[in-house]
A and B are shown apart, each in its own frame.
Chain A
Amino acid sequence: GNSVTQMEGPVTLSEEAFLTINCTYTATGYPSLFWYVQYPGEGLQLLLKATKADDKGSNKGFEATYRKETTSFHLEKGSVQVSDSAVYFCALSELIQGAQKLVFGQGTRLTINP
C-alpha cells in the first residue's frame, strides 16, 4: 500500500538557520502531497500542498516541490524562527471508498532555539 517516510527527529536548530525536513513516498498513481504542522497543544493545520508533479507549494516562508522522479516532497525554509517550533507531518492522499484518505508520515519534531 501507499506509505510516507519522513526523516527522523527530533531536529534542533538555531534561529535563522536553514531547514530541510525530508519526505519520500511510495504510491500507485499520482497522489496529492501535503505538509501539515501541529503546534503545541493544537490539532494539525495544513501548511502547504501540491497536487501534481513539479508543483511547488509554499506558505509562511516554507516551500516543498513535488518530485515524481525521486518520489520526494522535502520541506524547506530559508530562515527559521522560534515560532516555527512544532511537529511537522508529510502526507499523501489516496482515494478509498468515496473519500480522499490521508496517509501520514511519523512526524518530525522541530525545535528552534533563540
Chain B
Amino acid sequence: DVKVTQSSRYLVKRTGEKVFLECVQDMDHENMFWYRQDPGLGLRLIYFSYDVKMKEKGDIPEGYSVSREKKERFSLILESASTNQTSMYLCASSRVLRGEQFFGPGTRLTVL
C-alpha cells in the first residue's frame, strides 16, 4: 500500500515558536506538496517541490518555508508561528506530471 506519513496528528504551539511539520512518502514520488485546509476554503497550496532541493511557492506561501533534502521527505517550517496559522496541514505526493496525489492523514496545528 502506498503511504504518506506525517510526524504528528495534533500539535499545540505558542505564538512566536518555530514549528516543523514533517512528511515522508514511501512511493519514490518526485513531487511533494503542502496544503492547509480551513472550513469553507477547501485546500490551499502553500509550497510544492518537484525534485530534491527544488521548491516552488504555492498560493499562500507567506509565513512558511520548506525543505527537501531527500526525495522521500518534505518539511514545512513556520519560522514564527502566529494564531492565524492554526489549521489542518496536509502533505501529498505524486509522480512527475501525474495529477493524482496521495495524501497523508494531516496535522491539526493549534497556535495559542
Q: Is the CB of B94 within 8 A of A100?
A: yes
Instruction: Tell me the complex Cα distance, A34–B101, Å.
Output: 10
A49: chain B residues at CB < 8 Å are 99-100
Are A98 and B99 CB-contacts (below 8 A) given A43-B90, A104-B43? no
Query: Which among A12-20, A64-72, A78-86, A89-97 touches the partner chain?
Result: A89-97
Query: Which among B11-19, B65-73, B77-85, B103-111 touches the partner chain?
Result: B103-111
A36, A43, A51, A99: most-surrounded residue (chain B CB, <10 A): A99
How many contacts between A and B, using CB within 8 angstroms?
67
| Nearest Cβ on chain A to B25's Cβ, whole angstroms | 12
Interface size on A, residues (CB 8 A): 26
| Nearest Cβ on chain A to B108's Cβ, whole angstroms | 10
Q: Is the CB of A46 within 8 A of B50?
A: no
Binary CB contact string for chain A from 29 to 54 against chain B (1 if under 8 A, 0 otherwise): 00110101000011111100101000
Q: Is the CB of A97 within 8 A of B90?
A: no
Are A101 and B48 CB-contacts (below 8 A) given A34-B100, A93-B99? yes
Instruction: Tell me the complex Cα distance, A99–B92, Å.
Output: 12
Q: Is the CB of B97 within 8 A of A100?
A: yes
Q: Is the CB of A89 within 8 A of B43?
A: yes
A102: chain B residues at CB < 8 Å are 33, 43, 45, 99, 101
Which residue of A36, A51, A95, A105 is within 8 Å of B97 (Cβ)?
Answer: A95
Q: Which residue on A lies nearest to B103, using beta carbons?
A: A43
| Nearest Cβ on chain B to A92's Cβ, whole angstroms | 8
Q: Is the CB of A106 within 8 A of B106?
A: no
Q: Is the CB of B99 within 8 A of A100?
A: yes
B99: chain A residues at CB < 8 Å are 31-32, 34, 49, 51, 93, 100, 102
Q: Which residues of B come within 8 Å of A, CB atoms?
A: 4, 31, 33, 40-45, 48, 50-51, 56, 58, 90, 92, 94, 96-106
